[in-house]
Amino acid sequence: MSKEITVRQLPNFINGQYVETSNTFDVLYPITGAVTAIAHIAGKAEVDAAVAAARAALDGPWGKMAQAERSKMVRAIADGINKRFDEFLEAEVLDTGKPYSVARQLDIPRGGANFVTFAEMLKEHPTEAFHMDTPDGRGALNYGVRRPRGVIGIISPWNLPLLLMTWKAGPALACGNTVVVKPSEVTPSTATLLGEVMNEVGVPEGVYNVVHGFGETGALITSHPDVDGITFTGETGTGSIILKAVAPTLKASSMEMGGKNAGIVFEDADLDLTVNELGRSCFLNTGQVCLGTERVYVHESIFDEVADRLVNYARNELKYGYPDDETTNFGPVVSDEHRDKILSYYKLAEEEGAEVLHGGGAPVFGDERDGGSWVEPTIWKGLAHTSRVASEEIFGPAVALIPFRDEDEVIKLANDTKYGLAATFFSTNVSRVHRVAPQLEAGIVWVNSWFLRDLRTAFGGMKHSGIGREGGVHGLEFYTEMSNVCVKM
């Protein structure tokens, strides 16, 4: 239902203190367009202060803390999030407009889990050791020693704000780094609130810092000479700008970027399962999941049936509404700017010859929600594989269905993209499953499922979707520096 909104202040969080500035911007509620918060933009002085605080904490209490104690504290951050679960939930819903039912299941629990997983993982992980023969017969022992990379700049997007930011902050802190976070300007609330949790659980000041603002604030971090590494999630175009920005100071970078993920439905797929999983992968979070599916290749023998079933899914399973209505599972997109981008693709699809099977526009409510950022879930057929709509990332609840004839052809079609983040396919033929999966050029391949995440596994994209892998022990490559010690006997 309609909401009474008390406008909140969102200051920067630097060295354990909340810091306001005179330069601010409004944060809007995507449901109605109302102002919900005023965020304080960090300029050079604030970014310098945040980096200096992070450096001091690294050289001081955090860097000197025993690993077991640090792991305990990182776990306590998760407990702190869970203790204030409803406040995080409220903040995330105000920023994104997503239904409580979605954020309660996905965003906030994963926010906590990201700290638990990496606190635990580090306790178990050994480094390597090699005995080496030497000409004098005495030999030498090599062993690896890991140390934190240093001050890490975290630049994060708006689609899963707490989840994606803590996906980086969790391993960064568990490995002993300190961080300066620049959350998306569209969704700055949960990163700010997390500062309170850090203070409550006794994380030393300066370990976790948050600075607000647009790309300019991000650029102050990426170009900062005293930041040791940048981990970024966002658009491929922004990633490219960041890679140029980090070059003069030679920072390590971990890049998680855009995608145009393919789905494939083979003729032997279990269609009940397929349509449910595919429906989720196209429309969860109003299509704003980097791993979501925007083009689906369906075997020609079942094309019409799959198309009809997916339309029925969109018609019957997706419920627009206010976020606090527990039956709502389909919210607005995050901003008017993003709505306009998606609607421009809806128009382009028709120009490119699409037949609209479902949606294709923006809903009209006849109430305050008409001031919000809504689009309809949309399904097309008739688009060419090479059309712009079937090739460019839309990042909305829209999918192009394209028929295919045989396995080799569909593997080529799925791989024929500059991106390589995720792929999802459906088949009940075990041989085909194991034959096709390794041929797909994607960092993550799901079979008969979607968005089933084990946080110990490698996560990242190929080609223009990413550089490096995070998740489990793979994140150690970025969040730590390894030295080899060679001791001659």
256 labelled catalytic? yes
DSSP state of 1: -
Instruction: Report angle CA 236, 55, 74 to the nearest 5 degrees.
Output: 75
Q: Is 447 left (phi over 0), alpha (psi -120 to 50) or beta?
A: beta
Q: Which is nearer to ligand NAD, 46 or 205 (CB)?
A: 46
Sign of CA dihedral 329, 334, 337, 338: negative
Site residues for ligand NAD per CB under 6 A: 155-159, 164, 182, 184-185, 214-215, 218-219, 222, 233-235, 238, 241-242, 256-259, 290, 393, 395, 421, 461, 465-466
Cβ proximity of 294 and 286 under 8 Å: no
Cα 258 versus chain centre, distance:
10
Cβ proximity of 2 and 368 under 8 Å: yes
CB 26 to ligand NAD: min, Å:
15
**Exposed e or buried b per residue across 124-145, where buried means at least 16 C-beta atoms within 10 angstroms of its C-beta:** eeeeeeeeeeeeeeeeeeeeee
CB 285 to ligand NAD: min, Å:
10
Q: Which is nearer to ligand NAD, 164 or 310 (CB)?
A: 164
What is d(CA 245, CA 248) in angstroms, rounded to the nearest whole number?
A: 7
Q: Which is nearer to ligand NAD, 185 or 376 (CB)?
A: 185
Q: Which residue is nearest to ligand NAD (CB)?
A: 218
Q: Which is nearer to ligand NAD, 2 or 240 (CB)?
A: 240
Cβ proximity of 137 and 52 under 8 Å: no
Cβ proximity of 284 and 451 under 8 Å: yes
Q: Which is nearer to ligand NAD, 163 or 201 (CB)?
A: 163
Spell out the alpha helix ranges (H) of 290-383.
303-317, 336-351
Spell out the alpha helix ranges (H) of 84-106.
85-96, 100-105
CB 290 to ligand NAD: min, Å:
3
CB 269 to ligand NAD: min, Å:
26
Q: Which is nearer to ligand NAD, 36 or 184 (CB)?
A: 184
CB 242 to ligand NAD: min, Å:
5
What's the full length of the chain, in residues? 489
Annotated catalytic residue, options 46, 90, 185, 256: 256
CB 204 to ligand NAD: min, Å:
25
Which residues participate in catalysis according to the annotation?
Answer: 256
